[in-house]
Structure 1
Amino acid sequence: MGNSPLGTFLPLILLVVVFYFLLIRPQRKRQQEALQMQNSLTPGARVMTTTGLFATVAAVEDDDVVLELAPGVETRWVKASIGRVLTPVDSEPEADTPLTDGHDTGDGDDTSTKQS
C-alpha cells in the first residue's frame, strides 16, 4: 500500500498550523492588548465598560477600579470589565458650520413632532 504515515498526518498538521495563525495567535494578541490597557488605567481616564457603561476612573486598587458615573455616584468594578479607554475629541464643530450635509431630506415637515 502506498500510503505513508506522513501523508496521512500532513492534512491534520496543516489544519493545526492554519488554526494557529488564523485564530489562536490573533486572540492571544487581543488578550495581551486588553490586559495592557487595563493595567495602564489611571484616575481621570474616561472609559467604557464591556456592558456599554461610560464613566470616569476615580481610583485604581489592585484588581478593582472605582468608576464615577455621575458627580458623587461611584461604583466598584473589576478591571477586566473595562472594555476600552476613550480618547477625548480634540476639535469641536464650529458654530457656523451646519451639522447636516445640506441636502433637504423631506417635505419640510418635522416628523419628530407630528402627532397622529
Structure 2
Amino acid sequence: MIRPQMKKAKDQKKFIEELKKGDKVITSAGIHGKIVEMNDTSFLIEVESGTKIRFDKSAISLDASKAMNTNVKA
C-alpha cells in the first residue's frame, strides 16, 4: 500500500517542477487559473480579468488543460 502512495507523491512533485508561466492549473481548493509568476515556494495565479492570487506550490493539484481533455466524452 505504501508503494502507490510513494509513486503518486513522486508524480505530483514532478508535475509541480514542470509547471511554467502561462500554464492553466486547478488548485486543491478547486480554483482555476493561469500561472503568471513563479518563485521557489509559490505561484501567482490569475483567476479572472486581472485578479491575481498567490498560492503555495503544494496547493496546485492538476493541469487544467489535461483535466479538460479527460472530461470530454465522444
1:56 matched residue in structure 2: 34
Question: Counterpart of 1:51 in 2: which secondary structure?
Answer: coil
Consecutive unaligned residues of structure 2, counting only runs of 5 or more, are 70-74
Moved over 6 A (4+): none
Matching residue within 63, 77, 90 for 2:55: 77
Normalising by structure 2, we get a TM-score of 0.84
% of aligned pairs identical? 24
Equivalent pairs, count: 68
Measure the CA separation in 2 of the matches of 1:67 and 1:51. 13
Measure the CA separation in 1 of the matches of 2:22 and 2:44. 11
Question: Counterpart of 1:87 in 2: which secondary structure?
Answer: helix
Structure with the greater alpha carbon radius of gyration: 1
Which structure has the higher relative contact order (CA within 8 Å, separation 6+)?
A: 2
Normalising by structure 1, we get a TM-score of 0.55
